[in-house]
Structure 1
């Protein structure tokens, strides 16, 4: 029997929450504004990045799972996914070049040399030859512009992951968890060049969220849920979200919680990544908080109804055009950071740069959909 949520129509929850994530990413990437205090990272252990990757996995399954469900061959689905990877790569390179140009223009024409010292842009003049090699190889990624390389790697592996998830969901999830644990245990990461270290978003760790998104998307296409709604699980998820809220908002709770985590980890001799708050390796509290939030939001029909309301339509518009909006958001956040570097801080400036950025992202998304409609009428 099909689940009541099964529908051939587009699930607006995915669009709306992806749009919300894009807005919060833009705000978080313009640090120092008062609006930064309102984004999700101030109310728990995870932030919009975890939600974005999880929803990317869901969207990938909804879009491409049909190509891998049958006996094959699978070249049609693989070609579509890898064509998307190529698009992601192009958007990343273009936005990176524009971001460097904005930083350089801010320094050259407005005296804001601080922009050349943030977000590892400084490698462009400290190690110029190595920098020009690292950018196209994705081994050097600017701050605020490093999510698309992660998504490109995950989607490149998507054909194998989808094929496996459709046939052996439990085994696929088990292998994904094992890889996540081993990678953190032995500090394995994709290489960085010319700077030392690895990728800020380690694909070998973040693949776990993407795989879980694939499994959720596959179940959605079947009119089912990956994890059923149960009162005990819902109570546990809500409790963990409340713990995250308390830790994020109250320093006293944060201190006590840190002591508790240290005590538990020390007594049980747990691996570091189970209790740490590391973003690169997607450590335990961040991962479980993101999953608890997704579970709670997906459990209540009122959330679906709210996402279908006309007030949520702007966020759905952004979510439907996620790649273009994210790439444009990178350009806008570097522009906003440049403006804030050279002008004195004020609430009026914060309001101007954030509202202008969101309105421009909405304008881009609207223009893309208007262009598509015009093309359809022409055909």
Structure 2
């Protein structure tokens, strides 16, 4: 079958690293409740948030990395490399899962805070620890804030055949993903969770963002630059972002929300994150269009030193994400046990981001040490 996708240019795209670093920092801040600093994150000013960005970039990067390998070395090699990555993600999740619930349980006992296990959805461990841990291995039991990585694991695990088809029929693959997303919303398809309920991030819905990212990477964005650069597209995107800002603020401030008709307010509030509401997806698409239009791959600003910490955090995304999730629990606990003052909120936020950045720089340095040194050039006679 003919290859109809356009492979990305070789070489690293710093935009991916930069925005993946941004997503990791935002996820950390958003996971700490009653924290004034998380007002800097995008979730407060529109329908989508850092989770949407994380899933989109994951799909974009997976195609960016594995599409060429699949074409040059065959489906089996590409699929096995993807499977290897899925295994790395799974191991990281299990390690984080064990450390997370052990820390929560220890602190709850150490400080006599019985509500802590309820706040983080680990109370079921007390009643049935063995079955709960077993369900955790199957990704069905997830403490609070440990929902994104299992979603990523499932999407990556199912990606090999999707990538094979997308290389040949990218537009039809995206269309199929959109249909699956809309059907899942109508039928209520979702994976079951333990002990009750369903996944917070419905994989049948959220896969559309992952596939959309892959579609953009494999030429979808490049082939539609005439639409992206159209003045009409710009006006529509800006108008929609303004609408999203207004409706999000209406949901956060009841007095402001009362100014709007109920039918308009209720259309966007509450924000349906679990099943990826259409207005949420369109909000993220509008952001992607503006970024592609105004932040090209060759933008000199990507080399600015001020962005280095974000870029490095994006390059070491998995480790930084896991550290950030754990630190968000530590930050939440620290604020709940202290006065929760403005200074404490800023301190917890800045300290957590600093630790995540230090971890990223250390891993980058450590990887460089593993590479063999280049032989010194011979001195001229």
Same-fold call, TM cutoff 0.5: yes
Instruction: Give the aligned partner of residue 322 of structure 2.
Output: 327
Which of these residues, 12, 37, 40, is aligned with residue 39 of structure 2?
Answer: 37
| Shift, 1:311, TM fit | 0.8
2: CA distance, partners of 1:14 / 1:73: 26
Instruction: Give the aligned partner of residue 291 of structure 2.
Output: 297
Instruction: Give the aligned partner of residue 310 of structure 1.
Output: 305
Instruction: Give the aligned partner of residue 105 of structure 2.
Output: 104
- For this pair of structures, how many residues does the alignment match? 361
Instruction: Give the aligned partner of residue 177 of structure 2.
Output: 176
TM-score by length of 1: 0.89
Instruction: Give the aligned partner of residue 93 of structure 1.
Output: 94
Unaligned 5+ segments in structure 1 are 1-5, 266-273
Q: Does 1:143 align with 2:144?
A: yes
Q: 1:168 and 1:7, CA in 2 relative to 1: closer, same or farther beyond 3 A?
A: closer
Instruction: Give the aligned partner of residue 19 of structure 2.
Output: 17
Which of these residues, 275, 278, 282, is aligned with residue 281 of structure 1?
Answer: 275
* 1:267-278 equivalences in 2 (<5 Å): 277-278=271-272
Q: Kindly provide the CA deviation profile for residues 5-62 of structure 1, in whole angstroms up to 9, marking residues without a partner as x.
A: x754321111111111110100011111110222110000111100110111111111
1: CA distance, partners of 2:186 / 2:105: 39
Q: Kindly provide the CA deviation profile for residues 116-142 of structure 1, in whole angstroms up to 9, marking residues without a partner as x.
A: 111211111133233122110111111
Q: Kindly provide the CA deviation profile for residues 250-305 of structure 1, in whole angstroms up to 9, marking residues without a partner as x.
A: 4466452652376xx8xxxxxxxx99731111111111111111111121147934
Contact 2:42/2:49 (8 A) holds in 1: yes
Contact 2:55/2:209 (8 A) holds in 1: yes
Q: Does 1:83 align with 2:87?
A: no
Unaligned 5+ segments in structure 2 are 1-7, 375-381
Contact 1:321/1:365 (8 A) holds in 2: yes
1: CA distance, partners of 2:92 / 2:111: 27
2: CA distance, partners of 1:38 / 1:25: 11
2: CA distance, partners of 1:224 / 1:308: 26
2: CA distance, partners of 1:234 / 1:257: 27
Q: Kindly provide the CA deviation profile for residues 56-97 of structure 1, in whole angstroms up to 9, marking residues without a partner as x.
A: 111111100113336x74111111101110111111111111
Instruction: Give the aligned partner of residue 188 of structure 1.
Output: 189
Contact 1:216/1:225 (8 A) holds in 2: no
Q: Does 1:344 align with 2:339?
A: yes
Stretch deviating more after TM superposition (348-357 or 42-51):
348-357
Contact 1:102/1:335 (8 A) holds in 2: no
Give the match's secondary structure for 2:193.
coil
TM-score by length of 2: 0.89
